Each structure stands twice: as C-alpha cells, then as structure tokens.
Structure 1
Amino acid sequence: MNYNLIDLRLFVAVAEQKNLTKGAEIVFLAPSSASHRIKQLESHLETQLLVREPRGVSLTKAGEIVLRHAKRALATLEQMQSELYPFTDSMQTHVKLWANTNAIHTYLPDDLGRFLELHSHVKLILEEHGSEEIAEAVAKGDIEIGIVAEQDLNSEVILYPYKRDRLVLVVQSKHVLAGSASIKFIQVVDFPFVILNEGSAIHTFTMNKAAVINKPLNIRAQVKSFDAVCRMVSSNVGVAMVPYDSVCQLNELDLSIIEIDETWSKRDLMICINKHKELGSLATQLLNHLTNRYFEQKTPETDGMLLI
C-alpha cells in the first residue's frame, strides 16, 4: 500500500494535539480537508484510527500502532534528507533570517540551536531589524523568511505563528509604580528609562511610541541585553519596557511587572514569508521547525517534519 506523507503528518499532528482542528492548523490544512483525509486513511487501512469525542479525538488501538510507525517513518525520512545534503552540490547550504529584537534576545537562540544541531551543514545568517523593515525585505524578495511582531504589516507577506508574548513595564519593587496592575504608556514616559542600545529594533519602537504622544523619552541608561536592562531596573536606575518572557524567569531580581494598557503592547511574534514566491528547501525546513516550536512539538521525531 502507498502512504501519502501529508496524510501521515496530518495524522501525527491530530493524534498529538488530540484535536482535529489544531492538528489541521499545524500542517496548514482546512479542518474539512483534514477530516476527509483522515477518513480516507481509515478507509485504506480498513480500520478506525480515531474516536471522535465532544472535546477532541482519542486514538484507537490501531491508531496507536499507526502513530508509532508514522512518527518513526517521518523521522527516518527527515534523517535521510539531512544525511544527503553533503552529496548534493546544488543544495542550498545557507539561509538568511531577519528577526526583531524580542525574538533574537529571547526565543531564537534555543530554537535555532536545535535547528542547526539537526542540520550541521547549514550556515545561518541572522540579522536584527525592525518588524516593518523585515516585512518589506521579505515582500521585495531580499530575504526568504523573517520574524516580526504581529501588527498591520505589508500585504505581500503571509504570517505564521511563532511565539505568544507581550511588552510589559518593569520597575524596582519599591518604585512608586510598583504593584500597579496596568498602566498607560503616557503615564510612565516621563520616568527615567533603561533601554537597549540605539539601533536595536525595540529602541526604535519605543522612541516612535513616545514621539506619537509628543513626549521625549527620558533615557537614563542604554545597555546591550534585556537581562542587563532588568538588572539595571532592579538597581533602581529607571523603568523599562521589555517582553514578558525576558523578565518572567528572573525571580532573583527585585522587580515588579506591570501590564501596559495599550493595543500595541500585545506583540505576538510571527514568521513572515513572501506571498508570491516559493520558499527554497532550506527556508522551508526552517519555517517548519519554527512553527513546530509554536505548537510545542519538541521531540526529534516531530521537529521540522511538516514538509520534506
């Protein structure tokens, strides 16, 4: 019997998510199409693989067997492709990725480290830029893939989810604002700020938001990393606006986290690609790897296996 790789990837995604709709999203299929493919797979195998339940799906005994072998088969194909790279002269061996400050300073190091571990032949060129600049470069075809903050961007790009995050205000725990549940940006712009160095995407973003409300930002200190920003705030040098995930694990610091009551503070990170151009093989694998991380499929058997 011939097996369709898309069907196998879909089945693995649905089984691991225990939900048809979520599984369909992972492999970029409509729920109706996914349901039809699952039914066809069951018909070809002449056995039921999934039990449809009010809040999702569960595996039958036969489904558990198919899941085990499907994951093994897909992992083997991924490994085969990786091992063949050195013998294929025409194969792309480098990929250029542009990302905003948040992504580079928080999530990307671990995710890209895992990708490069799986693809030891690959050379990665990573550059930091603002979200609008990244989207424009992708739309022009200057780069294949970028990571941006979710917002109204160039209509010539397609967005895929990467990470959920938001900007928050951090202050020293004895600061006059400490303990506030939320605050407007205009209420804090006059306080001394600690911020990343000029040229960073979030530096430009913060300065632009201050300019919109006709307020000059009172910059007390500029540093190179979010960790350094938070440590300066902990020493009461000033306040800072940082991604939540860059501060939530710094429990040893004397900080108070305050929600920013602005629509632009919700800064989900998205992967963007050109709407009209087909990705190269390597960029496709990187896209799949990063979107898989969004759905927390972090095993060697499931990373980077949406498209082969």
Structure 2
Amino acid sequence: MRFDVTDLRLFVSVAEAASITHGAAAANMALGAASARIRGMEEVAGVALLDRERLGVPLTPAGRALLQHSRIVLQQLGRMRSELDEFAHGLRGQVRLFSNTNALVEFLPAALSEYLMKNPGVNVDLQEHLSDHIVRSVAEGVADIGIVAGSVDVASLETFPFREDRLVAVVPRDHALAGRRRISFSLMLDYDFIGLSDGAALQDFLAGHAMRVGRRLRLRVQLRSFDGVCRMVESRTGVAVVPASAAKRLRRIMAIKIIPLEDAWALRRLTICVRSMGDLPAHAARLVEHLRQA
C-alpha cells in the first residue's frame, strides 16, 4: 500500500472540511484531480474512506483510522524538517499549543513571552479550546502541547503539573449575594450573568454545567476579557464566574466581591500534556520544560 505526501495532505484537508470541494481548495488542488486522488487511495486501500452524502463526505471507520495515521506522518515529516533546520539555518520551528481559557489568559502570556525572547526562531500557534478537545487533539497529533483542566482523562498522554487555580463568583460589593462566604453555581443561575464572548472555552464550560442542572445562563453581556467582565460586574449589570487569579488581581482596582464556589469542579488543576516527550522536536520539548519551570 503506497500513499504519497500529497495524498495524505489532501485527505486530511478533505476530512477536516468534510467536503472534497473545500478540501481540494485548501490543498490548492483542482476538484477533478482531488476526486481522482481520493478514488485512487480507496482503490489502493481496498475500502471506502468517505461516505458520499448530499451534504458532505463524513469519514468511514477506515477513513478515521487513515486520518489519524496521516496526521502523525505529516507531523513527523514537519518535525524532521524542523530538526534539520536547526543545523542548517539556526532554529526555525513552530509549536502548536492548545490551552483552556484560564491558562491562556492568566498564566501563558508571561511564560510564553520569556520563551519566545530566548527562542527567536520559533513561532507558537496558540489556540483556545475546551479541555476534552485539547486531549483529543494532542492524542491525534493535531496539537504538540496541551494545557488542560485536571478533570479530563489524560491517561493516554504524558503529563506534567502546570498551575492550580479556582473558579470563583464575582459580584458587586453591595449585591444581595455579597455577604455569603461560599456559594453554589446553581444559586448564581438565578441572576443575570456577565460572560466571555462566544467560543471562549470557559464560557462553554460554564454553559455545560448550567445545562447539567437543567438551567441556562441568563447572559446580559459578553466580553472578550476577564477585565471587561469584572468591570461590568462592578457596574451592577450582573454576576460572573472567573478564575481566582484574575479576580484577585482585579479586586485591587474594582469594587467587586469574590465568593468561593463550593462546586467540586471549581478547583482547576492545570496540566501540561503531550503524546510523548521523546517524540517532540527539540524546540517543542524546550517549551514544555520552560512551562514546567516558569
């Protein structure tokens, strides 16, 4: 069975787009040529890789297996080129780092700034995702490094402790809840919420916990930063849930009250995860070590 690199790149593009048309465009290939290549791959494999449906081309079980192996092969080729570049031109590499909201906003900016200053030839592709998506992405080779909340299953990955933080309630100082020493998330759902913008991993996380108790967040305003969220809380527009590290920093300059959440999931042990340190290129392994020590 023989597939070349162009076949694998095309197949990954088609699989991620769930469309031969869009996959061909992403791979800079004519539609006819792309369709012929996919058919050729299926003939060589002796099994269908895609289900041709009216609204797309979802993967068959064999296609999902090929997608995982294709990503691994392409990632290894990229790492090979990166390692060779270290000898030829000085380090030129890229690390794809997926992180949850908490680590991305509160802990990574300073740590990454120091790393990038020490490694001017390396670029970091930093993306925000939910922790379960990050684990899958690292396991499948889509991401080199992940930073996730400790509540997800990372048994298949190599892991290292990163930070520990807690989600807390934030309310105006004169709010009806301000006198409480602790509070449950379900009680907060009786009030208007200030949240992060759609797509923020923490916002999706909180919305999921609201759904688990049969409720919905009553979102009045959504903003892009914890600073903006807490500023709206200070103005008595609503209540919010943010990391304790952000809340303590902003309490110094805003009239807000921090109330610990009593829910078990509020404690966030942040974990670095990789498929294998031994498989990472040198510059990515250095980033892991830097994050562990930062």
- TM-score calculated relative to the size of structure 1: 0.65
Aligned to 2:239: 239
Aligned to 1:111: 111
Q: What is the deviation of 1:254?
A: 0.4
Q: What amino acid is the match of 1:271? A: I
SS in 2 for 1:267: strand
Q: Which 4+ residue blocks in structure 1 deviate beyond 6 angstroms?
A: none
Q: Deviations over 1:6-41 (max 9, x none)?
A: xxxxxxxxxxxxxxxxxxxxxxxxxxxxxxxxxxxx
Identity %: 36
CA RMSD of aligned residues (A): 1.8
SS in 1 for 2:272: strand
| Alpha-carbon distance in structure 1 between the residues aligned to 2:118 and 2:91 | 16
Q: What is the deviation of 1:217?
A: 1.1
| Alpha-carbon distance in structure 1 between the residues aligned to 2:282 and 2:130 | 26
Aligned to 1:266: 267
| Alpha-carbon distance in structure 2 between the residues aligned to 1:177 and 1:113 | 38
User: Closer, same or farther in 2 for the Cα pair 1:152/1:100, shift >3 Å?
Assistant: closer
Q: What amino acid is the match of 1:264? A: W
Q: Deviations over 1:274-298 (max 9, x none)?
A: 15962221111000000001xxxxx
Q: What amino acid is the match of 2:158? A: I
Aligned to 1:179: 179
Is residue 144–residue 273 contact of structure 1 (8 Å, CA) maintained in 2?
yes
Q: What is the deviation of 1:159?
A: 2.0
| Alpha-carbon distance in structure 1 between the residues aligned to 2:87 and 2:281 | 18
Q: Superposed, which structure 2 residues align to 1:83-122 within 5 Å? A: 87-89=87-89, 93-122=93-122
| Alpha-carbon distance in structure 2 between the residues aligned to 1:267 and 1:101 | 11
Aligned to 1:283: 284
| Alpha-carbon distance in structure 2 between the residues aligned to 1:191 and 1:240 | 9
Higher helix proportion: 2
- TM-score calculated relative to the size of structure 2: 0.68
Q: Superposed, which structure 2 residues align to 1:17-36 within 5 Å? A: none
Q: What amino acid is the match of 1:258? A: I
Q: Superposed, which structure 2 residues align to 1:127-142 within 5 Å? A: 127-142=127-142
Is residue 233–residue 239 contact of structure 1 (8 Å, CA) maintained in 2?
yes
| Alpha-carbon distance in structure 1 between the residues aligned to 2:125 and 2:217 | 33
Q: What is the deviation of 1:121?
A: 1.1
SS in 1 for 2:125: strand
Mean Cα deviation higher: 84-93 or 265-274: 84-93
Is residue 92–residue 281 contact of structure 1 (8 Å, CA) maintained in 2?
no
Q: What amino acid is the match of 1:150? A: G
SS in 2 for 1:252: coil
Is residue 85–residue 121 contact of structure 1 (8 Å, CA) maintained in 2?
no
Aligned to 1:68: none
Q: What amino acid is the match of 1:94? A: Q
Is residue 234–residue 254 contact of structure 1 (8 Å, CA) maintained in 2?
yes
Q: Superposed, which structure 2 residues align to 1:1-308 within 5 Å? A: 87-89=87-89, 93-250=93-250, 251-275=252-276, 278-293=279-294
SS in 1 for 2:202: helix
Is residue 191–residue 239 contact of structure 1 (8 Å, CA) maintained in 2?
yes
SS in 1 for 2:253: coil
Q: What is the deviation of 1:104?
A: 1.3
Q: Deviations over 1:154-199 (max 9, x none)?
A: 4211221111101000000000000311111111112100000111
| Alpha-carbon distance in structure 2 between the residues aligned to 1:201 and 1:150 | 15
SS in 1 for 2:287: helix
Q: What is the deviation of 1:88?
A: 3.1
SS in 1 for 2:233: helix
| Alpha-carbon distance in structure 2 between the residues aligned to 1:253 and 1:196 | 18
| Alpha-carbon distance in structure 2 between the residues aligned to 1:259 and 1:226 | 17
Q: Which runs of 5+ in 1 are unaligned?
A: 1-83, 294-308
Q: Which runs of 5+ in 2 are unaligned?
A: 1-83
User: How many positions carry a matched residue from both structures?
Assistant: 210
Q: What amino acid is the match of 2:206? A: T
User: Closer, same or farther in 2 for the Cα pair 1:277/1:288, shift >3 Å?
Assistant: closer
User: Closer, same or farther in 2 for the Cα pair 1:120/1:244, shift >3 Å?
Assistant: same
Is residue 139–residue 154 contact of structure 1 (8 Å, CA) maintained in 2?
no
| Alpha-carbon distance in structure 2 between the residues aligned to 1:153 and 1:225 | 28
Is residue 162–residue 270 contact of structure 1 (8 Å, CA) maintained in 2?
yes
